[in-house]
Structure 1
Amino acid sequence: MSYTVNLVEDEQSLNELLTKYLQSEGWIVTSFLNGTDAINKLTPSPHIWILDIMLPDIDGYTIIKEIKKQDPAVPVIFISARDADIDRVLGLELGSSDYISKPFLPRELIIRVKKLLELVYKNDRPKASPLLSPYEVYEELREVYKNGVSITLTSKEFDLLLLFIKNKGHAFSREDILVKIWGDNYFGTDRVVDDLVRRLRKKMPELKVETIYGFGYRMAKG
């Protein structure tokens, strides 16, 4: 799911690094280098805030108070160079959901954000297709996951995946797939179908897509 994340971190190099890591998960990230800009952008509320405590203008405690006034339910992760128990306790009292001390590995932050998003928004997530274990396919969102990790598919790759899922056991000729994925007006070789299937298999190696030599493809029922 394409979650929205607001990141407040005054150290520019760290801000840019964390932004890249968060965006690599497919999330929409808005980053701020100071508290004033963050407070001026409280709406619309993101799915999660990542908030440095020690900022040059307004401290994180002041910001979280304003965040919670606007949206009491939105989760907040505090990050800080200080590893003091009082900071953790005060953060919890003000409504933070987690606390991570600097220095930390960006991947650790990603893991914590994922777990928190899943915990908070699990009931809001559309139901995944139960027909494609171990993959989770969200048709409405046009997203695919395996073990919580997003698999990026092109539009036609996703269309082909849905065609196979909804027609397990049905054999499609290359011409059938051309019409259903590219449309009646496509002009070109049917070898684009082979390339599309090849790319889908590479990204989702556990798909049970069978080649029917001289004809086309089908997804196995089992």
Structure 2
Amino acid sequence: MTERGLVLVVEDDRAIADLVGLYLRKEGFGVHVEATGDGGLAAVRRLHPVAVVLDVGLPGLDGVEVCRRLRAEDDWTPVLFVTARDEEIDRILGLEMGADDYVTKPFSPRELVARVRTVLRRVAGPPARSEVLALGAVRVDVDRRRVTVDGVGVALTSTEFDLLTHLLRSPGRVFSRDQLLGAVWGYAAAAGTRTVDVHVAQLRGKLGPGSPIRTVRGVGYAADTP
């Protein structure tokens, strides 16, 4: 069964790759495995997977560099990093390179598959309807998943897009980090609210001075006219 599409798993530990592949196949995904960064990069270009599960600590061309090169080519295939390093700098670096999410080893294969499904739901978006959100200089065409600032297109990851959309749908409303984590990522608060802060920082950086996102100290974030 591959009705959910092909997921590329780039992992040099064969036991982990086999386990992840087993759980993905159970959920109806097709799976292709590569053990090196170069092989993974070539496979993305050749196979056009719906998502990539990408180990950060690959020999040679590591996962962060693979993701950086994909984004530099304007390839926004959803990427979920798998890393053995739990330091905050690794997470921030990965998200700066355009990753949509990450899990830290050791991880539950079920959790990883659930996160892949969540990322793909965000990419697919809601049923087609006419919806355009605008606040200040920022305009979001929800149907086409396009964002512009003063008419200039801005490339966002699927997570950044859904975070911005969620905030813009309720202008002026303050969302806590836990609320955003549940609404956008679909995770329990235990997953770590720092994830929200990192994505907000990245989103603001891409939107520039026209960003409508403001921090409400001690509470969370809101979208207001700059």
In the alignment, which of 51, 73, 76 is matched to residue 73 of structure 1?
76
The structure with the largest alpha-carbon Rg is: 1
Task: Specify the alignment match of 2:31 in structure 1.
Answer: 29
How big is the shift at 1:123? Answer: 4.6
State how far apart, in whole Å, the 2-side matches of 1:118 and 1:71 are.
21
For 1:29, what is the secondary structure of its paired residue?
strand
Identity of aligned residues (%): 37
Counterpart of 2:41 in structure 1: which amino acid? I
CA offsets, 1:61-84, max 9 Å, x none?
110012223443211100101101
Task: Specify the alignment match of 1:41 in structure 2.
Answer: 43
Task: Specify the alignment match of 1:2 in structure 2.
Answer: 4
State how far apart, in whole Å, the 2-side matches of 1:122 and 1:39 are.
26
The question of 1:92 aligning with 2:85 is answered: no
List gaps (5 residues or longer) in structure 1. 126-222
Structure 1 residues 125-144: aligned runs within 5 Å: none
How big is the shift at 1:58? Answer: 1.2
The question of 1:59 aligning with 2:62 is answered: yes
How big is the shift at 1:124? Answer: 7.6
How big is the shift at 1:40? Answer: 2.0
State how far apart, in whole Å, the 2-side matches of 1:114 and 1:22 are.
10
Counterpart of 2:115 in structure 1: which amino acid? R
CA offsets, 1:99-151, max 9 Å, x none?
110001101101111111111113589xxxxxxxxxxxxxxxxxxxxxxxxxx
Counterpart of 1:103 in structure 2: which amino acid? P
State how far apart, in whole Å, the 1-side matches of 2:111 and 2:13 are.
18
Cα distance change, pair 42–92 in 1 and its aligned pair in 2 (3 A): same
For 2:43, what is the secondary structure of its paired residue?
coil
Contact map agreement 1:65 1:94 (CA 8 A) in 2: yes
Counterpart of 1:96 in structure 2: which amino acid? A
How big is the shift at 1:34? Answer: 1.2
Task: Specify the alignment match of 1:83 in structure 2.
Answer: 86
For 1:41, what is the secondary structure of its paired residue?
helix
TM-score, structure 1 normalization: 0.53
For 1:7, what is the secondary structure of its paired residue?
strand
Higher helix share: 2
State how far apart, in whole Å, the 2-side matches of 1:124 and 1:10 are.
38
Counterpart of 1:79 in structure 2: which amino acid? V
The question of 1:16 aligning with 2:18 is answered: yes
Hey, which bits of structure 1, 4+ residues long, moved more than 4 A? none
For 1:31, what is the secondary structure of its paired residue?
strand
CA offsets, 1:163-184, max 9 Å, x none?
xxxxxxxxxxxxxxxxxxxxxx
State how far apart, in whole Å, the 2-side matches of 1:66 and 1:101 are.
22
List gaps (5 residues or longer) in structure 2. 129-226
State how far apart, in whole Å, the 1-side matches of 2:68 and 2:125 are.
25
Q: What do you get for the CA RMSD once the two structures are aligned?
A: 1.7
The question of 1:106 aligning with 2:109 is answered: yes
